[in-house]
């Protein structure tokens, strides 16, 4: 495909299907984040968690973009650092 598909292209339907499915996934993820954790389970078909999950002794990597509370923050959500 040499150019982006336009509405008169047969490929347009595929891209609209992808976008429609993305909206459903995004909506579901928001609803799941609002549920109490006790109501959520990992489906048994999913692969096991990565070994680093739940390793509280391991410090998270440093993030140079977030300085937090310094009024010099360069992160996208700098309003949180004020």
Q: Is 54 in contact with 65 (CB distance < 8 Å)? A: no
Q: Where are the domains of the chain?
A: 9-42
Q: How confident is the model at residue 54 (pLDDT cuts 50, 70, 90)?
A: confident
Task: Name the average pLDDT for the chain.
Answer: 79
Element (H, E) at 21: helix 11-34
pLDDT for 18: 92
Q: Which of 2-16, 49-63, 64-78 has the lowest mean pLDDT?
A: 64-78
Q: Which two tokens stand for residue 68?
A: 């937090």
Share of the chain above pLDDT 90, in %: 27
User: Does pLDDT of 32 surpass 80?
Assistant: yes
């Amino acid at each position: 495909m040499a150019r982006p598909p336009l509405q008169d292209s047969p490929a347009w339907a595929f891209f609209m299907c992808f976008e429609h499915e993305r909206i459903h996934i995004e909506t579901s993820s928001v609803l799941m984040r609002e549920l109490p954790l006790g109501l959520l389970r990992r489906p048994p078909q999913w692969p096991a968690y990565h070994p680093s999950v739940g390793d509280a002794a391991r410090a998270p990597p440093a993030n140079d973009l977030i300085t937090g509370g310094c009024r010099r923050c360069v992160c996208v959500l700098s309003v949180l650092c004020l």
